[in-house]
Structure 1
Amino acid sequence: MSTAALDADVCRAPGDYRVLTGDRPTGPLHLGHYFGTLHNRVRLQNLGVEMFVLVADYQVLTDRDVADRLGDHVEGLVLDYLAAGIDPEHATVFTHSAVPALNQLLLPFLSLVTVAELGRNPTVKDEIAHSRQSAVSGLMFTYPVHQAADILFCKANLVPVGKDQLPHLEVTRTVARRFNDRYAHGGPEIFPQPQALLSAAPQLLGTDGGKMSKSRGNSIALGATEDETAQLIKRAKTDAERHIGYDPENRPEVSGLVLLAALCQDRDPRLVAEDIGAGGAAALKKVVTESVNEYLRPMRARRAAYAKDRAYVREVLRAGNERANAIADATLREVREAMGAAY
């Protein structure tokens, strides 16, 4: 099914779908996360799709030796979710480390894929190339199978992804298919083969002209202050041409800033560029700064309010972990029974 047809079906029958999505708590979420995934998660949630949002704390260790300030980053991630509009009444927010049965699924799932298949995964190759570790850990190598456990423990049948994540999702589909073939014994399928809902959001560039990333220090955090935002945009890379246009192929840095303003204004980036015209980089950065701060102002106010009630943030996780555990326990029992290991 095409992305357009799948999205139309989700809008028609949201109750037929269960989504698993999430992030690693390695630092504050930024505008790239928001326009790339968060905005769509909130949209799906509000349509009535059942939503599971994973705080992937174990997966922090895929490309680093230690998980620095993990507790702070977990709480910060939940604050970003709440500020963006994730509603704990309609979405289950939970952490890897609090759901033991989810992680136990990794063992039988690993038996369903070969070392060669994992080695050919292009996304794993890219993540290894950008890893902070001097050697590749087993967790990094088996990352796609861990993601399969994340998705299949709750039997999610829809996963919003970018194109770079499609190889990971194909591993999940392979695991589901092979488990069903091996253990369903001709009966109903135990696991669905989840579909990919491809994001239509364009990739936002960071202030240095590269991909916006927490680890590269070129992002604008959702929780940044207005002054911090202004300083980050002031340092953003542009080019020597004074007239502002929207030409992503030939003028990527300028076009990235134009696109950011356009997303915040909900306008065509070409129209935004036309308005700035011969104003040059200074006028462009002024428009971007005002647009971003105006767009994020209510979100930042919500985040500040939630940050004053850390007990509520912890309760969101406690309740989410409790529900995720109940579902994971039931799935693991079903897996053990199918494998003849229920004793």
Structure 2
Amino acid sequence: MDAETMVELDASLARSTARSHEIERAIAKDPSQFRILTGDRPTGNLHIGHWFGSLENRVRLADAGVETFLIIADYQVITDRDGVGPIRDRVYSLVADYVAAGLDPEKVTIFTHSSVPALNQLMLPFLSLVTDAELRRNPTVKSELDDTGERPMSGLMLTYPVHQTADILFCKANLVPVGKDQLPHIEQARIVARRFDERYGRADATHPVFPEPDALLSRSGTILGLDGTKMSKSKGNTIELGMTADETAKLLKRAVTDSNRHITYEPAERPEVSNLVSLAALCLDRDPVDVAAEIGDGGGGGLKKLVTEAVNERFAGHRARRAEIVADPGQLQAILADGNRRANDIADATLDEVRAAMRMEY
């Protein structure tokens, strides 16, 4: 990445951070002025990285009274895969974790891409508002292009940022909780919303069809996987939310540490050890420096024991609620069916507005 791009990204992050602080203050005063779109790809089961990175925050915002739309992006599974895998099981697994975490399906709209045709139809006019060069400059697309090797990049992968834009704008979300690596996608959505209004506008021209959404930056850092690399469903280095206490203990025994028995919290010098310390601290709601000091010379064994106890205690309630929900497949199906119905009603209305703005009412 060249120096000019780095400067632009740093400036964008600074602006987004400042704006996120403003938004948090505004939410505390009046949450009804915001509508959130967030979600996950059903490529595997949710893990503790998802919990601290996004799920916990979604519950906080929904409980604060912010209207929330939660998309299970099943179509996006095939952006970089040859098949969908056990997608039905994974979709319902996500629903179970959402509800077990405390997201009330009566208040939060949970839905799937493939069940909302009007959302996906928005991609057609949106694609006319972006250029090939702009898409190829998107960091996610650039990374995929660099990693493809001999494999051609699919058209769906190239247009992935526009599909995400359709996800955000179909329900006119004005707030999207993201990590800093997702900021370019929010900027793409802002550009499309602005260009649509500039090119078409409304028939009465009183206000734009789409809001320009803001990013709400995540407040937690990245949690590494048990092998010391980024926690990822595809790497198998995660602790899934639905795992049992015994399964969690077995996985943590294999977690990477180092040869120094004295435990300290030094992320730059000791990333693997510090990652486990950080995980324990998150589960215990304590400062990681204090957690490390408490373990002291307990070594890797003492660290893993504390982390195991902390994780299992923190997620015991979630796991119990999840087991009850999974035991009733009819409940899961009903939740998704109701969410899909609500999402379709909104998407159909938005598409009607788009057709009107484009003078395509026949």
1:8 Cα deviation after fit: 1.1
Q: Which residue of 1 aligns with 2:91?
A: 74
Match of 2:236 among 217, 231, 238: 217
State the secondary structure of the residue aligned to 1:53.
strand
- Give yes or no for the alignment of 1:42 onto 2:66: no
Kindly state the Cα deviation for residue 9 of structure 1 after the two structures are TM-superposed.
0.8
Q: Separation in 1 of the partners of 2:329 and 2:303?
A: 38
CA distance in 2, matches of 1:31, 1:129: 29
Q: Sequence identity of aligned pairs in percent?
A: 61
Pairwise mapping of residues 79-90 of structure 1 onto structure 2 (< 5 A)?
Answer: 79-90=96-107
User: Equivalent residue for 1:317?
Assistant: 336
Measure how far apart 1:257 and its partner are: 0.2
Residue from 316, 328, 334 that aligns with 1:297? 316
Assess, with a 3 A threshold, how the Cα gap between structure 1 residues 125 and 293 changes in structure 2: closer, same or farther: same
What letter corresponds to residue 209 of structure 1 in structure 2?
G
Q: Which residue of 2 aligns with 1:198?
A: 217
Secondary structure, aligned partner of 2:184: helix
Give the aligned CA root-mean-square deviation in angstroms. Answer: 1.2
Greater mean deviation of Cα atoms: 13-22 or 132-141: 132-141
TM-score using structure 1 length: 0.98
- Measured in 2, the distance between the counterparts of 1:308 and 1:133 equals 44
**1: CA distance, partners of 2:278 / 2:238:** 15
What does residue range 1-343 of structure 1 map to in structure 2 within 5 Å? 2-130=19-147, 134-184=151-201, 186-343=205-362
User: Would you identify which runs of 4 or more consecutive aligned residues in structure 1 move more than 4 Å?
Assistant: 128-133
Contact 1:176 1:191 in 2 (8 A): yes
**Count, aligned residues:** 343
Cα drift, residue 133 of structure 1: 8.7
Once the two structures are TM-superposed, the CA of residue 6 in structure 1 deviates from its matched residue by: 1.3
Structure 1 unmatched runs, 5+: none
Q: Which runs of 5+ in 2 are unaligned?
A: 1-17
- The amino acid across from 1:289 in the alignment is T
Residues 285-319 of structure 1: CA deviation (Å, up to 9, x unaligned): 00000000000000000000001111010000000
For the structure 1 residues 85 and 130, does the alpha-carbon distance in structure 2 shift closer, same or farther, using more than 3 Å as the test? farther
Structure 2 counterpart of 1:41, which letter?
R
Deviation at 1:128, TM superposition (A): 4.2
Q: Residue 222 of structure 1 contacts residue 296 of structure 1 at CA under 8 Å; is this kept in 2?
A: yes
**Contact 2:144 2:153 survives alignment (8 Å):** no
* Greater displacement, 199-208 / 1-10: 1-10
Q: Please say if residues 65 and 133 of structure 1, whose CA atoms lie closer than 8 Å, have aligned partners that are also in contact.
A: no
Which residue identity does 2:307 align to in structure 1? V
Distance, in Å, in 2 between the alignment partners of 1:57 and 1:47 is 28
Structure 2 residue matching 1:2: 3-state secondary structure: helix
